[in-house]
Structure 1
Amino acid sequence: MELYKTNSLKIYNSLSGEKEVFIPIHPGNVGMYVCGPTVYSNVHLGNVRTFMSFDVVYRYFKHLGYKVRYVRNITDVGHIVDDIDEGEDKIARMARIEKVEPMEIVQRYTVDFHTILHELNFLPPSIEPTATGHIIEQIEIIKQIITNGFAYESNGSVYFDVVKFNETNNYGKLSGRNIEDMIANTRDLDGQSDKKNSQDFALWKKAEPQHIMRWPSPWSDGFPGWHLECTAMSTKYLGNHFDIHGGGMDLKFPHHECEIAQNEACTGQSPVNIWMHANMLTLNGKKMAKSTGNNILPGEIFSGDTPHLTKAFSPSVVRFFMLQAHYRSILDFSNDAILASEKGFMRLIDTIDLIPAIPTSTSSSLDVATWKQNCYDAMNDDFNTPILIAHLFEGVRFINLAKEKTETLTADDLQLIKQTLHSFVFDVLGLTNASKNNNQSDKLEGVVHLLINMREEARANKNFALSDQIRDQLLALGIQLKDGKEGTQFTVSN
């Protein structure tokens, strides 16, 4: 069903600073590119939040019936420390520290990235290209930018001429920066003498003799600039002009600003209709940083092996926690906040499980159709997941009122509530009830251990009849007790 025909979706465009009605370039189709991770370390929670925001965007487009091509890259070369043109490639640096091949670093942390996203129930993108797999395309773009007069070669490296570009275009239009102010406020850096201007950025860097990751080009053996990689991969798979480009707020400048400039310098047209940026995640009210210890990895949340948490939390609870804030808002992660989210999540899932037992009537006293439209209106307003979740809990209230028989629902309206909750909770928000099952397992284990303790007390009091009764009745339920030197253990049969 093509729900997009009856739903007008508005998206906040970072380029215009306004919410705009989404009109796809090709009716019924969406082309979306999101900057993926630089795979030199474990994926951190802030990155996970950004990718989760766009996973929900992807899911909602699919729910509305759009055919979506979602491209999210892997940066496996060319991302310089501190995101400037001088310094050491992050992956090469980690390889040097650990004394392994750079591609070992890439493989290790790409696997980690995929593992964490799989646990959090992300949908895989349509295409996941790597920077190293598109060196030829990047060289061809550089050639075209040079031909068009917006880049120059210097000592084997190629730089984008920002001042020349700004004469006929607007460099800084995404971030709202002024080129003269940027040049005036730039500090001198070693090696910057190769550039005409301080704001010029590398399209191709000549590799020093000790640099491991290098490819031949018309200018030198070297490697591509970080900004160029996304330009090459996005346009190869989505065309020179596509619908949506997304990423973290920290990428707006210089990365996305440079992408726009490269595209316009190469093709003469603006590459993207809508730029979307997800905001940052803080921990206990402060910026996350490994150096201060104010840092937490997704796996540490799942295991509970961190001083920041009192217990472990399931991936779905983590996902629910993150979606309770709008993607453009700063979200603060804390033990108290995720504990509260866990309670809300369990209430939501428990209520969905209640639906088959809810009594129905010949008439409804609740306006279910308006409630359903409110859910769509929330998502149609720039993917407002916290407002959607508030409406989902209104649906929870409807079910509980019908359960208590203080309000009535027809069978059709109850089915509409069930379908709407399933669509938004599981399909759009991407939650699962796995954590509920885990919670039930924890409760089962607690009850069995309670009975084991009662049995041991009965045996100590020589009440063998009660001891045998507990053992036999548990066995009848498929729970077998095994007495050993280290105490009584149990197994559960299907």
Structure 2
Amino acid sequence: MKQNLFVYNTLTRKKEEFKPLNAPHVGMYVCGPTVYSDAHMGNCRTYISFDLIFRYLTHLEYKVRYVRNITDAGHLEGDADEGEDKISKKAKLAKLEPMEIVQKYTVGFHEVMALLNILPPSIEPTATGHIIEQIELVKLILKSGFGYEVDGSVYFDVEKYNSTQDYGILSGRNLDDMLNNTRALGGQQEKHGKLDFALWIKAKPEHLMQWPSPWGNGFPGWHLECSAMSHKYLGDQFDIHGGGLDLIPTHHTNEIAQNVASCGKNPANYWIHTNMLTVNGQKMSKSLGNSFLPHELFSGNNHILNKAYSPMMVRFFMLQAHYRSTLDFGNEAMEASEKGFKRLMNAFSLLNELQPSGSTEVQIAPLIERCYEAMNDDFNSPVLIAELFEASRVINSVKDGKLKIDAENLDLLKSMMNTFVLDVLGLKDEQAGNDELPNVIDFIVKLRNEAKSNRDYATSDKIRDGLQKVGIQLKDGKEGTSWSKI
């Protein structure tokens, strides 16, 4: 039933069979947020995607150590070696301590992750909690000859590294192209080459976040942090390293260089990257004025979309696109996805009402097989969801008496839906737990029936139409009025 899993590896640019280094153990590192502002939609897309991967690997009975860091220092403006630390800058503007900024936005990040039903990682290390490990890593790179110190700062010598290794192995770019397309940056006069990047940065006296080191007071380079934390918790080499597509050209490229220089190994066997977000076909960005934050999407307080969407519906919408494809936000797509989500969860809610109905007219095993085929083809959640819609059709047909199912196939159907809807996709019925809803609806239906008895058809129709707008459909029949979620 559970065929071999294939994943697309950015490193080799092809799908490969997933073979863990030390099965059943799997090590996975995903670059976490820099906590100087609210979590953005790109964060949500990336971490929903890796939550899907984490959940599915766990379902396949792998013992996954999932490490996702918190960057709370060292990430400078422009993602380079110049400018102010993003967290320090925010702290100065707000007249707060940097760790107050870190605390506020880390808590906010966790709240958004919880709303989207994203499981916490196994370990969530912070950059500031691993300064010693980062200093030791710089020492190793200096010892290998690929690092050099200039006036309290330490840089990585990219051209020297590229003379023995392929610096662009992940991005597929060659060094000459990178050199020609690199603009001069501040502090360039200190560097041996234009592509050299900081491992340790000398701190100016006014810099709020700095630590003592063999090279003087300073702070770590952003790229160094992830190398040190992944190495501490997952070793020289592990199975999966992930993040957004935008991290490939510099951050992940530099991580590989640091690891090879320090221990001779590419840190991960499989590099997995999520694609970008667009809005009505345009890249989502603050500069274009078409971006919105998760809470603005959940509340409807944005100028892009016509209405608010619940966190579970947003999760479902994101999973309807493959993690390697562009995800486009637009009113039509969101509204269609909302209808699909309600249809799926409505069918799921009917499962416990179904009873065996004699000799089966449907075989569930092939449907389950196709669900595994979808997930084993590079975690293809859109195809999986299509198969779950087919399962929903079966559920509704059995419920309406149009299709017969025996006990064995009914058990398989229930197991399949619980496995793939709840455990793998991580969806949940947002009405679940609201035990009073059926009683409330029944009371409203009773009021409508009284209105009909009194020939107050205007009120009767108003109640029916109002319920339909909030996702409750009434059906009048010989045995009275029944209702269901749309």
TM-score (norm 2): 0.89
Query: In the alignment, does 2:154 pair up with 1:173?
Result: no
- Equivalent in 167, 187, 195 of residue 191 of structure 1: 187
Task: Identify if the C-alpha distance between structure 1 residues 181 and 292 changes in structure 2 by more than 3 Å, giving closer, same or farther.
Answer: closer
Q: CA RMSD in A?
A: 2.2
Structure 1 stretches of 5 or more lacking a match?
459-494
Query: In the alignment, does 2:289 pair up with 1:293?
Result: yes
Match of 1:131 in 2: 127
Residues in 2 aligned to 1:83 and 1:356: alpha-carbon distance in whole angstroms? 52
Task: Identify if the C-alpha distance between structure 1 residues 184 and 304 changes in structure 2 by more than 3 Å, giving closer, same or farther.
Answer: closer
Residues in 2 aligned to 1:251 and 1:399: alpha-carbon distance in whole angstroms? 43
**Letter of the structure 1 residue corresponding to residue 420 of structure 2:** F
**Letter of the structure 2 residue corresponding to residue 33 of structure 1:** Y
- Equivalent in 246, 250, 262 of residue 246 of structure 2: 250
Match of 2:478 in 1: none
**Letter of the structure 1 residue corresponding to residue 179 of structure 2:** I
SS in 2 for 1:434: coil
- Following superposition, the deviation at residue 284 of structure 1 comes to 2.7
Residues in 2 aligned to 1:362 and 1:445: alpha-carbon distance in whole angstroms? 33
Task: Identify if the C-alpha distance between structure 1 residues 242 and 419 changes in structure 2 by more than 3 Å, giving closer, same or farther.
Answer: same
SS in 2 for 1:54: helix
**Letter of the structure 2 residue corresponding to residue 230 of structure 1:** C
SS in 2 for 1:243: strand
SS in 1 for 2:11: coil
**Letter of the structure 1 residue corresponding to residue 390 of structure 2:** E
- Equivalent in 103, 107, 124 of residue 107 of structure 1: 103
Match of 1:370 in 2: 366
Residues in 2 aligned to 1:44 and 1:442: alpha-carbon distance in whole angstroms? 36
SS in 1 for 2:155: strand
Query: In the alignment, does 2:222 pair up with 1:230?
Result: no
Match of 1:182 in 2: 178
Worse-matched range after superposition: 139-148 or 332-341 = 332-341
Query: In the alignment, does 2:206 pair up with 1:210?
Result: yes
**Letter of the structure 2 residue corresponding to residue 213 of structure 1:** M
Residues in 2 aligned to 1:185 and 1:292: alpha-carbon distance in whole angstroms? 24
Residues in 2 aligned to 1:268 and 1:412: alpha-carbon distance in whole angstroms? 54
- Following superposition, the deviation at residue 76 of structure 1 comes to 0.4
Query: In the alignment, does 2:211 pair up with 1:221?
Result: no
Residues in 2 aligned to 1:23 and 1:301: alpha-carbon distance in whole angstroms? 39
Task: Identify if the C-alpha distance between structure 1 residues 358 and 37 changes in structure 2 by more than 3 Å, giving closer, same or farther.
Answer: same
Residues in 1 aligned to 2:265 and 2:346: alpha-carbon distance in whole angstroms? 51
- Following superposition, the deviation at residue 362 of structure 1 comes to 3.5
Match of 1:8 in 2: 4
SS in 1 for 2:149: strand
Query: In the alignment, does 2:55 pair up with 1:62?
Result: no
Match of 2:237 in 1: 241
Task: Identify if the C-alpha distance between structure 1 residues 404 and 145 changes in structure 2 by more than 3 Å, giving closer, same or farther.
Answer: same
Written as runs of structure 1 = structure 2, the 5 A alignment for 1:324-403 is: 324-403=320-399
Structure 2 stretches of 5 or more lacking a match?
455-486
**Letter of the structure 2 residue corresponding to residue 167 of structure 1:** S
Question: Contact 1:120 / 1:315 at 8 angstroms: preserved in 2?
Answer: yes
- Following superposition, the deviation at residue 408 of structure 1 comes to 2.1
- Superposition misfits of 4+ residues, deviation over 4 angstroms: 435-452
Identity across the alignment (%): 57
Residues in 1 aligned to 2:11 and 2:146: alpha-carbon distance in whole angstroms? 22
SS in 2 for 1:168: coil
Residues in 2 aligned to 1:221 and 1:253: alpha-carbon distance in whole angstroms? 29
**Letter of the structure 2 residue corresponding to residue 14 of structure 1:** T
Question: Contact 1:77 / 1:89 at 8 angstroms: preserved in 2?
Answer: yes
**Letter of the structure 1 residue corresponding to residue 30 of structure 2:** V
Give per-residue Cα distances to partners, 1:155-211, cap 9 Å, x unaligned: 110000011111111100000111122112222223200000000000000011221
Give per-residue Cα distances to partners, 1:235-292, cap 9 Å, x unaligned: 1000101000000000011000000000000001221100000011112322222344
Task: Identify if the C-alpha distance between structure 1 residues 409 and 312 changes in structure 2 by more than 3 Å, giving closer, same or farther.
Answer: same
Question: Contact 1:349 / 1:436 at 8 angstroms: preserved in 2?
Answer: no
- Equivalent in 256, 260, 271 of residue 275 of structure 1: 271
Worse-matched range after superposition: 199-208 or 441-450 = 441-450
**Letter of the structure 1 residue corresponding to residue 277 of structure 2:** L
Match of 2:19 in 1: 23
- Following superposition, the deviation at residue 446 of structure 1 comes to 12
- Equivalent in 312, 318, 339 of residue 314 of structure 2: 318
- Equivalent in 111, 116, 119 of residue 120 of structure 1: 116
Worse-matched range after superposition: 287-296 or 412-421 = 287-296
- Following superposition, the deviation at residue 359 of structure 1 comes to 4.5
Task: Identify if the C-alpha distance between structure 1 residues 449 and 162 changes in structure 2 by more than 3 Å, giving closer, same or farther.
Answer: same
SS in 1 for 2:111: helix
SS in 1 for 2:428: coil
Residues in 2 aligned to 1:37 and 1:90: alpha-carbon distance in whole angstroms? 12
Residues in 1 aligned to 2:359 and 2:61: alpha-carbon distance in whole angstroms? 32
Question: Contact 1:314 / 1:435 at 8 angstroms: preserved in 2?
Answer: no
Residues in 2 aligned to 1:239 and 1:402: alpha-carbon distance in whole angstroms? 52
Match of 1:413 in 2: 409
TM-score (norm 1): 0.87
SS in 2 for 1:290: coil
Match of 2:420 in 1: 424
SS in 2 for 1:276: strand
- Equivalent in 37, 40, 50 of residue 36 of structure 2: 40
Residues in 1 aligned to 2:294 and 2:434: alpha-carbon distance in whole angstroms? 18
SS in 2 for 1:71: strand
Match of 2:475 in 1: none
Residues in 1 aligned to 2:431 and 2:287: alpha-carbon distance in whole angstroms? 32
Worse-matched range after superposition: 284-293 or 271-280 = 284-293
- Following superposition, the deviation at residue 75 of structure 1 comes to 0.3
Task: Identify if the C-alpha distance between structure 1 residues 332 and 441 changes in structure 2 by more than 3 Å, giving closer, same or farther.
Answer: farther
SS in 1 for 2:371: helix
Residues in 1 aligned to 2:417 and 2:161: alpha-carbon distance in whole angstroms? 51
Question: Contact 1:317 / 1:435 at 8 angstroms: preserved in 2?
Answer: no
- Following superposition, the deviation at residue 334 of structure 1 comes to 2.0
- Following superposition, the deviation at residue 443 of structure 1 comes to 11
Residues in 1 aligned to 2:439 and 2:79: alpha-carbon distance in whole angstroms? 49
Residues in 1 aligned to 2:276 and 2:331: alpha-carbon distance in whole angstroms? 18
Report the count of equivalent residues. 451
Residues in 1 aligned to 2:228 and 2:153: alpha-carbon distance in whole angstroms? 18
Task: Identify if the C-alpha distance between structure 1 residues 402 and 446 changes in structure 2 by more than 3 Å, giving closer, same or farther.
Answer: closer
SS in 1 for 2:33: coil
